[in-house]
């Protein structure tokens, strides 16, 4: 059976990603001084302005104005006057965490009933979080996600290295892959839109992007005479970033995760500390799925974890292996319960989430890149015993 599936990505200079990186840069700066801080930082950006808002409860001080401008400069907005680090107006509207929310986070329902240390933290909100893994790539992610993220990262690489100096920070990528019987066989379509200066011709840009970006990332064996390429299909992309379109934290949650291949609970990650299960439980769900697939329990695995605010243990665990499981989904749920502690305090401890490691996650995907603790497969051997 032949099917086509598509995923997209965006560069670090995309207006929404600018906001995500600012939010996580503020979070990291706080965590460097106060690992127990509570944060839910939001950001929006438009021509000449960045607004940083949300909740922050901490005993330290960070210079948000400086963090914003440094982040924007690192991304590459150093040209022009519409959106540049040296002419930004930075507005802050920060308040402490709601005491009503803190009641549930500071002491879970289980702790109040006499639980132990790992019952101390209750979930910071209700909601459902999803994890996913599939064995079609080394990253245990869909090929469409891997290629679109790598293409977006490559756009930034050739710009910052000076190989294509006429490029500017904003950009988007999209990859369509043809599947036969559930396996990727070829790349059908590649879309790349790259912001550029006013001096480069579209002919040169398209030739350079094809040679230095697409051909450098996509395995030639996946490309054929029928592969379609759309490079800057509108014909011009000079105005970009928050000058061309306003940016907002958390608006690229599908780009951040699995490219639309599986369900998403709706919660964004960036700017949130680890007591927010929107983030920590989503990382844990990915960690579990990756270990399940690596162990060979299934070729594909999706997990849903659901929480109630102020309660440490999840209210439900759902597993779907799409018919690829070598044991039943019910048995996999049992394996999860026996081997993974899903209380927020346990997740934080297991994955080391009190550290300032989050700014790096805010562009090019939270999953599939080495160096993040939730990408380890150190539980795979343990899980093999269930086969």
- For residue 276, say whether it is annotated as part of any ligand binding site: yes
Q: Do the annotations mark residue 245 as ligand-binding?
A: yes
Residue 251 among known ligand-binding residues? yes
For residue 195, the tally of other CB atoms under 10 A from its CB is: 25
Which helix (H) or strand (E) segment is 120 a member of? none
Q: What is the DSSP letter of 210?
A: I
Angle among Cα 202, 208, 213 to the nearest 5 degrees reads 125
Annotated binding residue 55: yes
Inter-residue contact 132 to 289 (CB < 8 Å): yes
The 3-state DSSP class for residue 73 equals helix
Distance separating alpha carbons of residues 132 and 292, to the nearest angstrom: 10
Six token digits for residue 299? 């070729």
Answer yes or no: is 278 a known binding residue. no
What angle is formed at CA 151 by the lines to CA 148 and CA 154, rounded to 5 degrees? 150
φ, ψ of residue 383 to 5 degrees: the values are -75, -20
| Helix 64-75, helix 15-33: angle, nearest 10 | 130
Q: Is 330 annotated as a binding residue?
A: no
172 is in an annotated binding site: yes
47 touches 211 (CB < 8 A): no
Measured distance CA(123)–CA(211) in Å, rounded: 48
SS3 157: helix
Is 237 assigned a ligand-binding role in the annotation?
yes
Contact 180, 1 (CB under 8 A): yes
* Neighbour count for residue 10 (Cβ, 10 Å): 23
CA dist 337 and 8 (Å) reads 34
Asked if 176 contacts 188 with a C-beta cutoff of 8 angstroms, the reply is: yes
Annotated binding-site residue? 174: no
Question: Which residues does the annotation place in the binding site for Mg(2+)?
Answer: 16
Question: Which residues does the annotation place in the binding site for ATP?
Answer: 14, 170-172, 236-237, 245, 251-252, 268, 272
Question: Which residues does the annotation place in the binding site for L-methionine?
Answer: 55, 97, 245, 276
Question: Which residues does the annotation place in the binding site for K(+)?
Answer: 42
Question: Which residues does the annotation place in the binding site?
Answer: 14, 16, 42, 55, 97, 170-172, 236-237, 245, 251-252, 268, 272, 276
């Amino acid at each position: 059976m032949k099917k086509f599936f598509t995923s997209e990505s965006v560069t670090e200079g995309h207006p929404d990603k600018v906001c995500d990186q600012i939010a996580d840069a503020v979070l990291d700066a706080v965590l460097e001084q106060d690992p127990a801080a509570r944060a839910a930082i939001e950001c929006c950006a438009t021509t000449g302005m960045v607004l940083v808002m949300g909740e922050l409860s901490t005993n330290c001080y960070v210079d948000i104005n400086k963090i914003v401008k440094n982040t924007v400069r690192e991304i590459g907005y150093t040209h022009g006057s519409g959106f540049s680090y040296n002419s930004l107006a930075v507005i802050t509207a920060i308040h402490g965490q709601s005491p009503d929310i803190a009641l549930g986070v500071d002491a879970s329902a289980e702790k109040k009933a006499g639980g132990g240390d790992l019952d101390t933290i209750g979930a910071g909100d209700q909601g459902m979080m999803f994890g996913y893994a599939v064995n079609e790539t080394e990253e245990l992610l869909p090929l469409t996600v891997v290629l679109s993220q790598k293409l977006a990262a490559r756009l930034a690489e050739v710009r910052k290295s000076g190989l294509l100096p006429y490029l500017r920070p904003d950009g988007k990528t999209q990859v369509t892959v043809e599947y036969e019987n559930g396996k990727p066989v070829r790349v059908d379509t590649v879309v790349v839109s790259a912001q550029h200066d006013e001096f480069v011709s579209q002919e040169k840009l398209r030739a350079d992007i094809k040679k230095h970006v697409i051909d450098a990332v996509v395995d030639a064996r996946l490309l054929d005479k029928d592969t379609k390429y759309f490079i800057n299909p509108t014909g011009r992309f000079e105005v970009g970033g928050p000058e061309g379109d306003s940016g907002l934290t958390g608006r690229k949650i599908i780009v951040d995760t699995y490219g639309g291949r599986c369900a998403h609970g709706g919660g964004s990650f960036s700017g949130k500390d680890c007591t927010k299960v929107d983030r920590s439980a989503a990382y844990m769900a990915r960690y579990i799925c990756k270990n399940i697939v690596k162990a060979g329990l299934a070729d594909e695995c999706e997990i849903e974890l659901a929480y109630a605010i102020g309660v440490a243990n999840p209210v439900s665990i759902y597993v779907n292996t799409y018919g690829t499981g070598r044991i039943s989904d019910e048995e996999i749920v049992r394996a999860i319960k026996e081997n993974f502690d899903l209380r927020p305090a346990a997740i934080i401890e297991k994955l080391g989430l009190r550290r300032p490691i989050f700014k790096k996650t805010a562009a090019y995907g939270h999953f599939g890149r080495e160096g993040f603790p939730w990408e380890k497969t150190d539980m795979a051997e343990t899980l093999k015993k269930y086969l």
